[in-house]
Amino acid sequence: MRMRKLTITLTLTALGLLPAFSQSQTQQDLYNPITTAVTSRTIAPDGVGASMGDIGAATAPDVYSQYWNPAKYPFTISRAGLGINYTPWLKSIVDGIALLNATGYIRLGDYQAVSASLDYFRIGEVTTADESMTVKPYEMSFDVAYSRMLSESFSAAVGMRYMYSDMSGHAFDDMKPGHAFSADLALYWNRYFMMGERECQFALGLNISDVGSKINFGDDYSYFIPTRMRLGFNWTLPINEFNRLSFNLEASKLLVPSKPLQKEGESDVDYNDRLQRDYYNCGSIKGIFKSFGDSERGFKGEMSEILIGGGFEYCYNDKFFVRGGYHHESDWEGGRKYATFGAGFRMNVMSIDAAYTWAMASTNPLDKTLRVSLAFDFDGIRDLIGRRKGR
């Protein structure tokens, strides 16, 4: 019982999927958000995508593309870059939760690139239900990706990832750290079109991430990891030589089956048997296909599992950026609805970006989340060193 209470507390804290208190009893009976382990993989790490509604599958290529769509790297202007991100998380509930991320890439010639990122998600200090001890759970992941241009306007990428999750802080023998491996497949297409006298850019991005094994913490069954599909659209419109606007829209869905609800009149024994057979014993690949048609509310329920994000970016002289966006999640799936705002400043050798989340509901634990990113342009650093040596 102690371990169960500890696990539930950690899961709710990490997910932030708390039902709205205004729901009716009927709504609560069908409230069934998709849950996964390794929830840190669902947190947007950087201040660029986070400021535009937590999107990035088709936004402009940058150093942070590893999380959103690594197929964008061959289209980056700089030959190499490094990004460092810090995200305090769920500050309205508890202190000490934060995601730290480092991302980097190197272009190999003109048509391909390699990239990597490291995540460390600390969940602070958690006291067990009987207050007998304090544990420090955490999660981390490391991934690498290879991307290549297949034509002048189309690229693809594949990635591999290792995930580690220690929800007990090594404090209990019956709850062990979990390990999982996954793969990503990403596509990116962009094309320039003339609209009047302006050369506009259209882009499409698709990323299917974290397709891989389930994760086990020493139980008799394993948990799903957050396999996700993102499909994004970008339209960039130059206003004049110094001013540019871009508009972005993205839909995403967890490719994870919904946990079956207990039917009216079904005994606990029968329900647990069905849960074990249809949910916990379901393989990860089978679960991807099952996730498209297993909602308790039919087609309407499947549509409610799709998250929608949209945002804009205003750029002045490729140095100053102002961003905004909105993220929508159905009330049946968690009800996270929030606006995002952000700004950025770019120099030759580095850039800094920040994003702020403003929740639409006071019960939303994502409210007042601030993300800060710092990126270094290796081409700019090399040019700066070269100029100093030439003096």
Print pLDDT tens along the chain (391 aa).
344 444 434 444 444 444 333 343 344 456 778 889 998 999 999 999 999 999 999 999 999 999 999 999 999 999 999 999 998 887 766 677 889 999 999 999 999 999 999 999 988 776 666 666 777 888 999 999 999 999 999 999 999 999 999 877 666 666 788 999 999 999 999 999 888 788 899 999 999 999 999 999 888 889 999 999 999 999 999 998 899 999 999 999 999 999 888 888 888 888 888 888 889 889 999 999 999 988 878 888 889 999 999 999 999 999 999 999 999 998 888 888 999 999 999 998 899 999 999 988 766 667 788 889 999 998 877 766 766 666 5
CATH number of the domain that residue 348 is part of: 2.40.160.40
**What are the angstrom distances between the C-alpha of 238 and each of 198, 202, 214, 311, 316?**
7, 12, 45, 17, 10
So what's the pLDDT on residue 227? 96
CB–CB of 63/104 below 8 Å? yes
So what's the pLDDT on residue 355? 95
**What are the angstrom distances between the C-alpha of 198 and each of 237, 239, 315?**
8, 8, 16
CB–CB of 56/232 below 8 Å? yes
Structural domains counted in the chain: 1
User: Rounded to two decimals, what is the model's pTM?
Assistant: 0.88
So what's the pLDDT on residue 11? 47
Give 89-128 pLDDT, tens digit per residue.
Answer: 877 666 778 899 999 999 999 999 999 999 999 887 766 6
CB–CB of 74/298 below 8 Å? no
Helix (H, G, I), strand (E, B) or coil at 78: coil
Helix (H, G, I), strand (E, B) or coil at 35: coil
Residues counted in the chain:
391
Task: Report residue 34 CA to chain centroid gap.
Answer: 15
The DSSP secondary-structure symbol of 300 reads H
CA distance 343 to 322: 4
CA distance 188 to 144: 18
Domain residues for the domain of 117 are 2-389
CB–CB of 212/194 below 8 Å? no
CA distance 289 to 17: 24
Phi, psi of 286 (to 5 degrees): -60, -35
So what's the pLDDT on residue 317? 93
Query: What is the greatest pairwise CA distance in the chain?
Result: 84
Helix (H, G, I), strand (E, B) or coil at 51: coil
Q: Give 64's contacts (C-beta < 8 A, 6+ positions apart).
A: 45, 46, 48, 49, 56, 83, 85, 103, 373, 375
Residue closest to 344 by CA, chosen among 41, 63, 116, 43: 63
So what's the pLDDT on residue 391? 59
